[in-house]
Structure 1
Amino acid sequence: MATLGRIVTGILRKETARNVCKNQQLLARTQQVRCKTTTETGALLAKPTTINLGLSKIVLVTVPFLYLGATISKEGAAFLEENDIFIPDDDDD
């Protein structure tokens, strides 16, 4: 009984996946959509190639925004000091 349930569930999943793929292909004619994960015989397809840029992504995002933040802070402090809004005292030590 459990085996029959698994077979029926597997068939339903395959049919649902096929319908989803057909609908996606109809809706997205300009985009490449990959719905197929197995071959006709049931073997899994090879993993897609990925490019891991871990540390370089972090550096490319962090460095410019740290520089931008430091520049804005410096210009803001200069503006406040120039307009006598905030003048640091040396007596605070």
Structure 2
Amino acid sequence: MAILRLSRLITQSKTVPRPDVPVSLTKRTATTTPTGAILPEPEKTPFGIFGIVCAVVPGLLIGAAISKNIANFLEENELFVPSDDDDDDD
């Protein structure tokens, strides 16, 4: 019984809502009501395949642009110049 009371005290610790922060941005630390009922699961915002595409495509484009600029810089400053001997397949 003491463990149950201790677990209720731990799960009922709530943050004090600030008036300048919207309710949707506050962190919910309580998992049960004062009577012991389990609170419902929070709402989830699904992004699906659209969200994945919106995250991956810009990352690939930015990474390709950066690597292209670095390769041009290395070649202009002759820090890395492919030799003609490497292309011979004889």
TM-score with structure 1 setting the length: 0.58
User: Aligned residue for 1:29?
Assistant: 18
User: Aligned residue for 2:80?
Assistant: 86
For the residue of structure 2 that corresponds to 1:64, the secondary structure is helix
- Report which of the two structures shows the higher radius of gyration computed on alpha carbons: 1
CA RMSD of aligned residues (A): 2.8
Q: Confirm or deny that 1:65 pairs with 2:59.
A: yes
For these two proteins, the number of residue pairs brought into alignment is 82
Paired residues for 1:10-21 under 5 Å = 10-18=4-12, 20-21=13-14
Judged with a 3 Å threshold, the aligned counterparts in structure 2 of structure 1 residues 82 and 47 are, in CA distance, closer, same or farther, namely same
User: Aligned residue for 2:3?
Assistant: 9
Unaligned runs of 5+ in 1: 1-6
Q: For each residue in 1:8-35, what CA deviation from the matched residue of structure 2 results, as whole angstroms up to 9, or x when unmatched?
A: 22123223444x32xx32xx53553434
Unaligned runs of 5+ in 2: none
The structure where helix makes up a greater share of residues is: 1
TM-score with structure 2 setting the length: 0.59
- Looking at both structures, which has the greater relative contact order when contacts are Cα pairs under 8 Å and sequence separation is at least 6? 2
Shift of 1:50: 0.6
Could you tell me how far apart the structure 2 residues matched to 1:82 and 1:15 are? 66
